[in-house]
Amino acid sequence: MTIIPFPARSPRRYGDLVVTQPMALEDEADDVRSLAERLVAGEEAALEAVYDRWSPLVHTYALRALADPHDAEDVTQQVFVAAWRSRHTLTPSPSALPAWLIGIARHKVADVRAARARDADRLAAVVSLPGAHELHQSADEDVAEQLVVRQAVDEMPDPRRTILFLAFWEEHSHAEIAERVGLPLGTVKSHLRRGLITLHRQLEGVRHESR
Amino acid sequence: MSHAEPDQLAGLALDPDDASEAVREHAQTCPECAALVAAFTGTRRRAGADALVAPPAHVRDRVLADVRAPAPPTAPPPVVVRERRGVPAWLAAVAAALALVAGIGLGRIGTGETPAPEASDPTPVETDDGGEVVAATALTALDSDAERGEASVTDRDDVITLRVRARDLGDEDGFHEVWLINVDGKRMVGVGILADGDDGEFKVPRHLIDDGYRIVDISVEPDDGDPTHSGVSLARGELA
Ligand SMILES: [Zn+2]
């Protein structure tokens, strides 16, 4: 069986959460829940693990929402410091962590936008534009969900990760994928179905928790 | 017919031609299964985002530095949220004994046979041992103006003594530690532990006061062996 190293994923620099073995959904959920519990208990190592796992998600979200690398770094910093200081508000559940972090990031992004509007003395113009806020919000939510999906696929064990990338990102046919990864067509389809269900649950969890 | 399996519906969302006739028909008539197919299709459309971009390493350093630093005195009072840790009774006793020894040691330095602080006037101009009060402050809670006692600095023969008389510090688990925070809000030094009730005396280098370490802060510290400020301040006041 040939596993195509696609796309290149930079190795995590910190932490011990790199998934190297196929992991059952339930184990993964327990993993995230216990990380949340350790964070709530005030364990600094848990904050580091949370940072290492979700700072790319938060940072990319801020980058997309603010289109400024400096602001995105500031927001990322603020989100994790705020997360630590308000950790008692987190109710540990499998998808609570990313949902909670994105919720905090949304507020910080809104703060930056408000500050920009003030700086440019354009606040009046912004608030008088009906629906501008809602526009931002729904665009931000789309971005957040796309990034959550991206991370979920990134974290899948191979060959599922590669198969999903070939199908959903590169738009290859199932037969082409089977040939490239050297697996029977039925196995490829099974990975895609299971992968899609996993992504769906992940998104549902994030949507539910961030409400 | 019972509902279709999520696996079958995911297959339908991925490729309608792949699904069996029965599943296709059911999904066309069953609102629940149709909704799930629509949700899978929506999820599929969420794919395609570029790779996530990790923040530069210095952001991580800043987060950890912010988290480890005590809240600056100008910031709003730190939220007092302390998860009570299950400290075994024997360990708590050892820590309390250590705190007591440390407190006595500090308290005796330079003060000789000083009488109990309660014996002296609350805001003395001349202390019993003849030191001159060069600065003093009322101590208050951070989240209200509630009085928490007072602190003063005496200067006798070039020995600077910080005298703290606190009250109503509460009964949260842990011991009370006294800090001097610089008025720049960036630096602080721990001067000792309130070992005997809520009062204590601490000899401090003169240059600390001169350098701006004038904010007296009393924290509650868990018996966790971490020498840094817990971030939970019970009382504060600026010497003037
Ligand atoms: Zn049904």
Q: Are residues A63 and A87 in the same domain?
A: yes
Q: pTM to 2 decimals?
A: 0.56
Question: Are residue A139 and residue A58 in the same domain, yes or no?
Answer: yes
Q: Are residues A103 and A206 in the same domain?
A: no
B interface residues, A as partner, C-beta within 8 Å: 6-7, 10-11, 13-15, 18, 39-40, 43-44, 46-57, 59-60, 62-64, 66-68, 78-79, 81, 83
In a domain, B77, yes or no: no
Higher pLDDT, B166 or A21: B166
The position carrying tokens 């820590």 is: B95
Write out pLDDT tens, residues B9-56: 999 999 988 889 999 999 999 999 999 999 999 999 999 999 999 999
Q: Which of A122, A145, A168 is the last residue of a domain?
A: A145
What pLDDT does B206 receive?
A: 81
ipTM exceeding 0.85, yes/no: no
Phi/psi of residue A184, nearest 5 degrees: -60, 150
Query: Has residue B85 been placed in a domain?
Result: no
Considering only the beta carbons, identify the residue of A56, A57, A149 that sits closest to B47: A149
Compare B177 and B207 and report the one with higher pLDDT.
B177
Residues A131 and A161 in one domain: no
The answer to whether residue A20 scores a pLDDT higher than 80 is no
User: Greater confidence, B183 or B33?
Assistant: B33
Which residues of chain A neighbour B20 with C-beta distances below 8 Å?
A: none
Domain-located, residue A16: no
Confidence category of residue A5, pLDDT binned at 50, 70, 90: very low
CB-CB contact of B203 with B111 (8 Å) = yes
pLDDT over 60 (residue B118): no
CA distance B40 to B35: 9
CA distance B88 to B175: 16
Same domain, B207 and B172: yes
With an 8 Å Cβ cutoff, are A55 and B46 in contact? no
Q: What is the average per-residue pLDDT within A92-118? A: 86
Tell me, yes or no, whether B84 lies in a domain.
no
The distance of B67 to chain A (nearest Cα, Å) reads 6
Sign (positive/negative) of CA torsion A89, A90, A96, A99? positive
CA distance B128 to chain A (A): 44
d(CA A150, CA B48): 7
Which residues of chain B make contact with A81, given a CB cutoff of 8 A? 63, 66-67
What domain range is A200 assigned to?
156-211
Q: What is the distance between the alpha carbons of residues A88 and A105, in angstroms, rounded to a whole number?
A: 17
How high is the pLDDT of residue B234? 85
Q: Which of A34-38, A58-62, A136-140, A165-169 has the lowest mean pLDDT?
A: A136-140
pLDDT of B233 reads 81
- Asked which of A115, A145, A175 is the last residue of a domain, the reply is A145
B106-124 mean pLDDT: 39
**Best to test chain B binding among A143, A188, A200 (most B CBs inside 10 Å):** A200
Q: State the Cα–Cα distance between residues A110 and B28, nearest whole angstrom.
A: 42
Q: Assess whether A77 and A180 both reside in one domain.
A: no
If asked whether residues A100 and A168 sit together in one domain, one would say: no
Percent of chain B with pLDDT over 90: 29
Q: Is the residue at B141 inside a domain?
A: yes
Quick check: A73 and B47 CB within 8 A? no
Is residue A137's pLDDT more than 60? yes
Number of structural domains, chain A? 2
Q: How far is A69 from A48, CA to CA, in rounded Å?
A: 22
A167 CA from centroid of ligand 1 (Å)? 27
Of B42, B71, B100, the position where a domain reaches its end is B71
CA of A48 to the centre of ligand 1 (A): 44
In the predicted structure, residue A11 carries a pLDDT above the cut 60:
no
Tokens of B224: 């966790």
Distance A172 CA to ligand 1 centre (A): 30
pLDDT at B92 over 90: no
- Domain boundary (A91, A120, A145) is at A145
Instruction: Give the CA angle between residues A202, A206, A207 to the nearest 5°.
Output: 115
Write down the pLDDT at residue A160: 96
pLDDT score recorded for residue A135? 59
Q: What is the pLDDT of residue A25?
A: 53
CA distances from A149 to B19, B45, B54, B149, B209 (A): 24, 10, 16, 56, 56
Tokens of B126: 């001349």
More confident residue, B141 or A156: A156
pLDDT of residue A101: 93
Same domain, B232 and B155: yes
Give the domain extent around B156.
91-238
A163 phi/psi in degrees, rounded to 5: -65, -45
CA nearest to B46 within chain A: A146
Q: In a mutagenesis test of the A interface, which of B7, B37, B43 is the best target, namely the one with the most A β-carbons within 10 Å?
A: B43
Q: Are residues A124 and A164 in the same domain?
A: no
Q: How many residues does chain B have?
A: 240
- The DSSP 8-state label assigned to residue A24 in this structure reads -
B80 to chain A, closest Cα gap in Å: 10
